[in-house]
Amino acid sequence: MNSHSVIYKSIVLAFALLLSRGLFVSGQNTPGFTEALERKFTEYCNSFPREEMYVHTDREEYVAGEDLWLAAYLFDGKTATLSGGSSLAYIEILNPENRPVVQKRIRLENGTGPGNLELPDSLSTGTYCLRAYTGWMKNFLPDNCFMKPVYITNALSGKKYNSVWPAASQPTESEVRNVTGISGLYIRTGRDSSGNVVITVNSTGSYRTKAGSALYLFIRTHGVINMNRQLSLPDNFTEITIPRDQLSPGINHITLFSLAGRPVFEKLMYTPAEAPVFLNADVASVAATRQEVGVEIENKSSATGIKKLSISVSPGGGRYFPGIDDYMLFGSEFGVIPEKLYKALGEGMSPDSIDVMMSGLRSSWIDWNTVLSSRKPEIRYAMEKTAHYLYGHLLNKSTLKPDSGQVLFLSFPGKNAGFRYAVTDKDGCFRFELPVDHHFRDLVIQPEDNTRGNNIRLESPFSEKYPPLMPADSLTPAYEPPAGSKLAINYQVTRIYGSDQAPDTTEAASFVRGKYRFYGTPDIELVLADYIKLPVMHEVFFELMPGVFMKERKGIYDIYVHDIVDNRPYDRPTILLVDGVVVKDPAVIAGLDPELVERIDAVKSRYFIGEYLFFGLVNVITKAGDFSDVPLPDQAIRFPWQAFARLKSFSAPDYDDAVLKNSRVPDFRNTLYWNPSVSAEKETSAGVKFWTSDFRGPFEVLVQGVTERGESFSLRKAIMVR
């Protein structure tokens, strides 16, 4: 059998399969635009992957001064599965004036991370915004981030904010969007009785004469391509039917392109998932005060297990925010989703009705003009997968213009010092890589050339690109907590009477010093305690440092080493350090009291750090080892830094102790239970127990998580405490 016969039979078989599957889309794939579109779309998605975050908080309403407990989930925007990309999450509380009042970074491991925010007791009553994003997501802000309203009450302050919230996308009732304004082309979408998508195209003869008698159909769900074909327009009226099983569950982005490659129609349509409900939360519906309550989460599916799980138990009957499963249908790609749309999803409204409600939404990720052109988004912030990045700008102090192509040094002072370097780009920007841990570090940054009169400006690690607010004439009434808010009363009682909760055992973070010298084992390691005391550093170098020279002429000092190969001084200056910090003036070292010096290290050979070349190195290590015995170099800045704070633990009373259970100290906790990382038994079930408080009323158990297959889920159960 020859190759032509094989190809012919393969084509016939493929065509038969398409017919048997009921693919009613007319037209054929053609080389050229469809292939280029798929290639450019795939390249764009791979070059600019989208991360999505969801934050499960213990409640929706708080009192100023309380802790807000949270569990952050990081997803791959294309697959909607947990992402191992970024290792840090940036969490903020924005006040109604779009100003941050709380900022914190938390650690992410394998796509999840617990944390808490301490709400200042000075916050005024109002609706605040909790915002969460990663370092990579900062490239696409203010759109690409998680946002949810947080309602805060301050019973001790009369000040209140008007209810201002980031502007939501404004849906319209129109199903027709002729984005180019081309006359003679009208498109409408809908569904038939079987749930298949039907696209109706009305085109006039004049349109087909000018623009061609075909269109290109492209459908994608997040970053997954569902369809990419050419459609024929033989008549004035053309109807295209797309089988439901050809579309991925979720929000399908349908785009029609003209033969010229211009988008002429866009539409979002909702395809619900048909996955059966296989998770159930079993909990008692009624409980007494100070009673132990169990929550059992059962997984009835043998095909997948529970991967991550977080549980909160808090007062019910209050505000609502969509669960992780509903939220991830949209993510942040389509802006702030109107609350009524989430409620429609939760109430099981028909896909047709949801389609109409989505008519005003637009993708902030896929802009076809950008995807199809060579003009790509500017990427400034790297993904923080294994490192945390510190950004800044180097400016001319007089003109405030950026100074490009300049080298900056970052030092970690210590007896085993760390060292980094960076080169400014065309905009004077620089970036340093830092470890991802909870330790404080002492950092010193300075320019290599301190004669240029530069100014170092560090960039805030938190983005200053804030979401647009609603216009003043569209403000909703200010957040009004119920008279004598029970949450506020509970909080005040807890503050007055104290609590029987277990004390917080979180250890204070401490400064950490390096374990290794960045230059390795030196050629000379002089420990001054091993020798007789000498009065000045000049004598120390002369008597005890062979091949390292300190010269003084008319009060001007110089320190240099001899090239061990040529046995002569290098033609470039030797780098000088004190406790690992670069010093430009040798007189600083010459003026040190030898009594303060512990050792001197010297590297005589050329030494590379990355692409930066040292022509010999001399490091004077003081007994203090913290660069406290010398003045800070000109134009240098010094500051402490911590990638993320040590985790604080949630605690609650354990009334197994009869004495504690019968205590007359009131227990009015607003959050009965919080666990950001519940362990599943063999991935098939999980269970927790908690104690109710003295607070009577409705409570809600909220279970959120992700399965091993990547499916997100949310379960809500009500408990009445009497």
pLDDT digits (tens, 9 = 90+) for 540-569: 999 999 999 999 998 899 999 988 888 888
Q: Can you point out the beta strands (E) in 37-125? A: 51-57, 61-63, 67-76, 88-94, 100-107, 112-118
Question: In DSSP terms, which residues pair with 68 in a beta bridge?
Answer: 117
Higher pLDDT, 461 or 20: 461
| 83 and 171 Cβ atoms separated by less than 8 Å | no
User: Amino acid letter at 202?
Assistant: N
Three-state DSSP at 579 gives coil
What pLDDT, on a 0 to 100 scale, did the predictor assign at position 576?
A: 96
Average pLDDT of the segment spanning 517-534: 93
Mean pLDDT within 651-671: 90
Tens-place pLDDT, residues 309-346: 999 999 988 788 889 988 998 888 888 888 788 888 87
CA distance linking residue 50 with residue 73, whole number of Å:
14
pLDDT reading at 29 higher than 90: no
The C-alpha atoms of residue 268 and residue 390 are separated, in whole angstroms, by 39
HSE value, Cβ hemisphere, 13 Å, CA-based, for 259? 12
Burial 76-96 (b: 16+ CB within 10 A, else e): bbbebbbbebbbbbbbbbbbb
- Residue 224 half-sphere exposure, CB side, CA atoms within 13 Å? 14
> Residue 41 above 60 pLDDT?
yes
What residues does 255 pair with on adjacent strands? 218, 266
Q: Looking at 80-84, 506-510, 673-677, 688-692, which range is the least confident one? A: 506-510
Residue 6 pLDDT more than 50? no
Q: How many CA atoms lie less than 13 Å away from 323 in the CB half-sphere?
A: 21
Q: Report pLDDT for 303.
A: 67
Compute the mean pLDDT over every residue in the chain, rounded to the nearest whole number.
86
pLDDT tens across 602-626, in order?
999 998 999 999 999 999 999 999 9
Give the residue, 239 or 175, on which the prediction is more confident.
239
- Convert the pLDDT of each residue in 234-280 to its tens digit: 888 889 999 988 998 889 999 999 888 889 899 999 988 765 567 88
Please report the pLDDT score of residue 70 as a whole number. Answer: 98
Is pLDDT larger for residue 53 or for residue 364?
53
Which residue is listed with tokens 């009732």? 173
Residue 426 has pLDDT above 70, yes or no: yes
Which domains are present in the chain?
A: 388-458 (no CATH), 525-642 (2.170.130)
d(CA 57, CA 128): 14
Neighbouring-strand partners of residue 113: 72
CA atoms within 13 A on the CB side of 572: 11
Lowest mean pLDDT among 99-103, 524-528, 683-687: 683-687
Instruction: Write down the pLDDT at residue 173.
Output: 35
Digit-coded pLDDT (tens) for 472-499: 444 455 666 664 478 888 888 888 887 5
Report pLDDT digits (tens) over 665-715. Answer: 899 999 999 999 987 766 667 889 999 999 999 999 999 999 888 888 999
Q: In what order do the strands lie in the sheet with 637-642?
A: 418-423, 407-412, 440-447, 637-642
pLDDT score of 510: 63
Among 179, 216, 221, 215, smallest CA distance to 45 is for: 221
Closest by Cα among 115, 110, 156 to 132: 115
Could you tell me which of 208, 242, 283, 111 has the C-alpha nearest to residue 700? 283
Condensed to tens digits (0 to 9), the pLDDT of residues 267-288 reads: 999 988 765 567 888 899 999 9
Q: Tell me, what's the pLDDT at 44? A: 92
What was the pLDDT predicted at 274? Answer: 66
| 292-299: strand order across its sheet | 279-283, 292-299, 685-691
- Would you state the pLDDT for residue 15? 38
Q: What average pLDDT does the segment 359-372 reach?
A: 86
